[in-house]
Amino acid sequence: MPRTRIKICGITRAEDRDAAIAAGVDALGFVFYPPSQRYVAPEKAAQLVSPIPAFVTRVGLFVNAEPATVHSVLAEVALNVLQFHGDEDAAYCRQFGRPWIKAARVRHGLDLLEYARAFDGACGLLLDAFVDGYGGGGKEFDWSLIPSSLPLPVILSGGLQVSNIQQAVRVIRPWAVDVSSGVEVAKGIKDAEKIAQFIAGVRNADA
């Protein structure tokens, strides 16, 4: 069983970036959605991303962005993967010629198998709670809504934290987990100890 990959999203400070890397994170997410309190301007994001070492994936997160906006960010910030967290369709996601993750906001009535098939070509399907503001809400969703098998690598998200991460990994066995609120002391302000405990919890569950 490969180890569960870990993404920490909503990085806004160099010290949080460094704490996550030191704790063994696999990917760091940067929010380019202006209404989010975790939003980072492209110039700031470029400064945060530049020192990230090899083999730590840099993820840029967008919500229903104009294509020109995505292209503009890509021209300034050295991202590896795009994450589309709004109402984007597959054609929109494919147009940038980069690996991309599609986020689904899980709720009763959403056929996740049909949804995953519609986003063929994604490098991950991020399953998040259905919250106001599209994401970053710190809310769990009903994991029993997740089909036993999906045709895309599952990235479990939504309200994950130290207290539920071991159960989440053991029950769902996702390809990866993603967290924002659960390792914060305030929106966009991560806590190094919570990061370390969260990652240790994933490693315990993998063992």
Ligand X SMILES: O=C(O)c1ccccc1NCC(=O)[C@H](O)[C@H](O)COP(=O)(O)O
Contact residues for ligand X, defined by CB under 6 A = 9-10, 29, 31, 33, 36, 38, 61, 63, 85, 128, 133-138, 157-160, 178-182
Is residue 120 annotated as part of the catalytic site, yes or no?
no
Is 173 buried (19+), middle (13-18) or exposed (0-12) by CB count in 10 A?
A: middle
Residue 140: its H or E element: none
Is residue 123 annotated as part of the catalytic site, yes or no?
no
- Token reading at 204: 């315990």
CB-nearer residue toward ligand X: 40 or 116: 40
**For the chain, how big is the Rg over CA atoms in Å?**
16
Residues whose CB is less than 8 angstroms from the CB of residue 12 and which lie 6 or more positions away in sequence, other chains included: 38, 40, 44, 48, 188, 189
CB-nearer residue toward ligand X: 96 or 130: 130
Shortest distance, position 134 Cβ to ligand X, whole Å: 4
Shortest distance, position 136 Cβ to ligand X, whole Å: 2
Shortest distance, position 182 Cβ to ligand X, whole Å: 5
Q: Which among 9, 16, 26, 178 is annotated as catalytic?
A: 9
Shortest distance, position 54 Cβ to ligand X, whole Å: 23
Residues whose CB is less than 8 angstroms from the CB of residue 82 and which lie 6 or more positions away in sequence, other chains included: 59, 60, 62, 70, 93, 96, 98, 99, 100, 101
CB-nearer residue toward ligand X: 136 or 201: 136
Q: Which among 16, 93, 123, 128 is annotated as catalytic?
A: 128
Q: Which SS3 state, helix, strand or coil, does residue 187 take? A: coil
Is 108 buried (19+), middle (13-18) or exposed (0-12) by CB count in 10 A?
A: exposed
CB-nearer residue toward ligand X: 36 or 57: 36
Catalytic positions are: 9, 128
